[in-house]
Amino acid sequence: MATNPPITIGSLANVPAPGSAVNSAYHQSIANRVVHRFADVATRNTQWPAATAGPGAVCITLDTGTLWQVVGAAWVRAGAGQAAFFQAPATDQTGIGAAAVSLSMAATFAAIAGHRYKITVVLLTNVSTNTLRRFFIDRDGTQIFIGLFTLAGGFQTIVYQAYDSPAAGSHTYSLRALSDTGTVTISHSLQPGTLLVEDVGA
């Protein structure tokens, strides 16, 4: 049989030329492009870590029926619609005053290049006086959003959102708050605060 050099089609190298024998390396190239199926994320990470699979590789985890793709050096859920969620424990955070403090709420997310992300925060507040309160969203420790609320004394639920277009890779969104005068309590014991990050697509 002829032994013509293998050819390349797209990113697939070692493709046998017509009428030629199959190069042994071709089987490995094909294996890296099969949509493999794994029982769950832990099994996938053990058997086919992102560093081995390489950028562009895809797989399915059967326990949730989720399609994954390697972006950069990490597995991320394929396409728009993926989300990261944090719900605070049911313990109030009290005494938030004039110095901005962390709300101890954070969500880590693997961003896809060119995609936009919606960050939604829901908090139940309890304030001592009618004054201005400031709520911040940070990405990797840098402020990307500030929400200004004039809250009357007593309980009030606040909801605020921001949109962000970070570079590809892992990012952590976190929250801070301060009160211009008086103090504010985040009443997680009555309504645990939530932080939701959603991929809204390119």
pLDDT digits (tens, 9 = 90+) for 57-109: 899 999 878 888 887 778 887 765 678 889 999 999 999 999 999 999 999 88
Question: What's the confidence (pLDDT) of residue 136?
Answer: 96
Strands ordered across the beta sheet of 74-77: 36-38, 58-61, 66-71, 74-77
**106 vs 108: CA distance, rounded Å:** 7
Q: Is the pLDDT of residue 155 over 70?
A: yes
Tokens of 148: 């200004």
pTM here? Answer: 0.66
109-142 burial, b at 16+ Cβ within 10 Å, e below that, comes to bbbbeebbbebbbbbbbbbbeebebbbbbbbeee
**2 vs 18: CA distance, rounded Å:** 9
Q: Return the percentage of the chain with pLDDT > 90, whole number.
A: 48
List, in order of start, the domains of the chain with CATH numbers: 7-77 (no CATH), 83-201 (2.60.120.40)
**37 vs 63: CA distance, rounded Å:** 10
**93 vs 176: CA distance, rounded Å:** 12
